[in-house]
Amino acid sequence: MPKRSYWPWWSGAVSIEVLMKIGEEYTLTPRAMAQGGDAVGRISGMACFVSGALPGETVNVKITHVTNTYARGTVVSILTPAPERVIPRVANAPHMEWQYIASDAQLEFKRQILAEQLTYLGKLSDLPEISAVAGSDSWHYRNSARLHGYGTHLGYRGEKSAHVIVVADDPLLQPALQLAVQHLREATLLHPPEPRTPWSVSLRLSETNGQIVAAISDLPNRIAIAIRDAWLRKSPNVIGVLMPYGVHEGEEAIQETHYGITMNLGATTFFQVSLSAAKTLCDAVLAGLGDDISEWRIVDAFCGAGTFTLPLAQRAKRVIGIEEYAPAVASGQQNAWTNGLENVEWYTEPVERGIAHVLEADAIVLDPPRRGCHPETIMGILRLMPKKVVYVSCHPGTLARDLQLIVAGGYKVTAITCVDCFPQTAHVESVTVLERI
């Protein structure tokens, strides 16, 4: 949740007399987009975060949440729309919270959010100009999806709601994946789960050959088997389904080609949301490390199944991948073996523990989850003092916190790239390069 200290222009004490009440309506002109995706402005000196609004436009806002330091609200009506506002493609889609913003404006807003977090929250100065690049197409880019079921309803949940919203024609999914989801819904209607039964399904599409694998969770085995069999009859490109009790029908993984490397990826294996996003991030990581790394020893922390590990192994002398999720490490090891990469060592443990076993490194690549790096991970980096640190982030706030510590330990930020891997959403990805002073 955004904190008051994120925004310098509305810092200062707020009188209790100006506190708003839930349900009241106000007119507001937001001044910026905030981390998390809401627009933010002030009402009687108090910050108000508004979902569905844009900087510079005038809106009527209904207050939904109030604290002593900020409020939250939703747009009731738009009095003066911003030029960046467009008509949403889907009326109610919780996974596309920014679809009302023009695609080029989304990228710029993400760049601004990243800059604000680094300079104000992270208190970082003398930063290079932040470049911004599109990592995925604006629409139909997703090669994977996790859908929630509730009886026969199959769709998405809101961030703070258990209610399942069905998006019949999802404009974020690649067409082959969307067709498979449609066939799954049809199979679910033929063999309906009990009403109010919560369940889920994960799907992954190979952009290389069009094949799909899936994993169904939390359904009784009898119903899951009936749905699976009906689904497979309708969708011949679904080549494997993992059932609720760990039994596979068909293949366990699809094959994807990334950076000339053949990768086996299961339905729940972490990989970027599109091949284009994976390549764009990998391009930025490799560019940050430089051309002459053939004799380098590189640590890839939070390595997953090897999105960065394997391209690094093609170029460096030795790579150590650290990842606590054992199935991802097993997939990475298989992928390394398949591609004849024998210079990779894998540590299956939390990064803050695994990095303690590393004796030396010329570079460290970080790709942590949204919570960022554990303090002991930062201590491990500063113990090793590599020539370069490349930080791939999916949360500007935790990135700012971690960079502040790394910079204080003897590093300088030399490049920052904001990458829009998730168009139509507020998710901000970035790649930051630090060099030892």
Which residues are known catalytic residues?
394
- Alpha-carbon distances of 326 from 197, 329, 330, rounded to whole Å: 30, 5, 6
Is 61 in contact with 26 (CB distance < 8 Å)? yes
Query: Cα(374)–Cα(372) distance, rounded to whole angstroms?
Result: 7
CA–CA distances in Å: residue 145 to residues 4, 140, 246, 272, 419: 34, 12, 19, 11, 20
- Length of the chain, in residues: 437
Q: With CA atoms as reference, report the closest residue to 238 among 230, 246, 116.
A: 230
Q: At which residue do the structure tokens 């080549």 appear?
A: 239
Q: Are 319 and 307 in contact (CB under 8 A)?
A: no
Burial (CB < 10 A; 0-12, 13-18, 19+), residue 194, is exposed
User: Which distant-in-sequence residues (6+ apart) come within 8 Å of 28 by Cβ?
Assistant: 41, 42, 43, 48, 50, 53, 58, 59, 60, 61, 73
Produce one character per residue of 63-87: b if its CB has 16 or more CB atoms within 10 Å, e if not.
beebeeebbbbebeebeeebebbee
